[in-house]
Amino acid sequence: MRKKKKWLVGMLVIVNVFLLFGCGKRQETREDKVHIGVTYYNQSDTFLNELLAQFKEQLKNPEHEELEATVTILDAAGSQRTQDDQVKELIDMGCDVLCVNLVDRADPSEIIDLARDHDVPIIFFNREPVEEDLRQWDELYYVGAEAKQSGVMQGELAAEVIQKNTQIDKNRDGKIQYVVLEGEAGHQDSIIRTGNAVDTIKNSGIELEKLSYQIANWNRVQAQNRMEQLISQYQNKIELVLANNDDMALGAIDAYKKANYTESAWPVFFGIDGTDAGLRALADSELSGTVYNDKEGQAKAMAKMVEAIGTDEEIAEKYVYLPYIKVTSENIGEFLEK
Ligand code: BGC
Ligand code: CA
């Protein structure tokens, strides 16, 4: 016992001496390594793949230059059970911090318990847990964006285009016949985006007539299938397509192309995200507008939190929400450069 204490004191002295005289060399000797474990709900998701590519990019150039970050990314393939197991695996691998994009955002309890038991902080991202769950432990964080804002912005974009262009009301009945393509049922970005987009258009004085709401789970192919059914049901009656994300707007456009409609007979399409393909469709005037889901900002915020955890700094905010930005043919240049 005594011996051990002496040894400890000796160590402390050495450390102090080192701190006094070794300041300049601190970078080389300090072990600033952080291993990050990421699991996300599905590798087929376009937006998340682009967001994670940005995150990896950010980690290559950390603000703390001496920090060396390694990252392991796992695909939960749509199963919460798989994701729970992956969290176990990542903790066993020795990850210092986890970034979790929940499969079921209402069911993070097992993951939270595991992380807390092993003292590994979690940054949830994009799929927001309910507040009560995030309060379960003080090392839980969230990075994302406010669903309501994206819905309002999509509605504003659509209202502006409809007001400027009387041709959109193809049957000239003074109303805009519309359909909505929605993301997953339980996702914070689905119902909230739809509701706010529709309300915003109505509040601008435009009369809307709802034809159909279809769930297509954020997915381009599913959206194309839904849209093919809608086209055969409503033929040329559809004047506006509001999609909860760009991939589904693109799927709807695919359906019109496949049905051999000429572009002048298409409805107008609006998306959200500003993915690479979404921006291209906007540049080609196939998409009439989108709302930028700031993946660079979100990736940066996540990287910053990871760095703070890796260097034992305090994290100021538990929640970080990056603002959305409206993208039209006028300002698209700024986004294509990103
Ligand atoms: C994005 C979608 C994405 C979803 C995944 C949303 O915020 O807009 O494109 O599929 O997150 O959780
Ligand atoms: Ca009409």
> Among 260, 281, 305, which residue's Cα sits nearest to residue 36?
305
Q: How far is the CA of 110 from the centre of ligand 1 (A)?
A: 23
Instruction: Give the pLDDT band (50/70/90) at residue 62.
Output: confident
Is 50 exceeded by the pLDDT of residue 26? no
Provide the percentage of residues in the chain whose pLDDT is more than 70.
91
Per-chain mean pLDDT for the chain: 91
Q: Look at strands 319-321 and 176-182 and give their pairing.
A: unpaired
Q: How far is the CA of 240 from the centre of ligand 2 (A)?
A: 9
pLDDT at 240: 99
Q: Which ligand has an atom closest to residue 240 CA?
A: 2
Is 90 exceeded by the pLDDT of residue 27? no
> Among 212, 274, 267, 211, which residue's Cα sits nearest to residue 236?
267
Q: Which ligand has an atom closest to residue 277 CA?
A: 1
**Whole-prediction pTM:** 0.90
Pocket of ligand 1 (CB under 6 A): 45, 47-48, 126-127, 187, 189, 218, 245, 272-273, 293
Q: How far is the CA of 275 from the centre of ligand 2 (A)?
A: 30
> Among 102, 241, 232, 42, which residue's Cα sits nearest to residue 161?
241
Cβ pair 99, 307 in contact under 8 A? no
Least confident of 114-123, 220-229, 309-318: 309-318
> Among 175, 176, 171, which residue's Cα sits nearest to residue 270?
176
Counting from 1 in the atom list of ligand 1, the atom nearest the Cα of 45 is 10
Q: How far is the CA of 218 from the centre of ligand 1 (A)?
A: 7
The residue-averaged pLDDT of 181-194 equals 96
Amino acid symbol at 121: P
The residue-averaged pLDDT of 108-114 equals 98
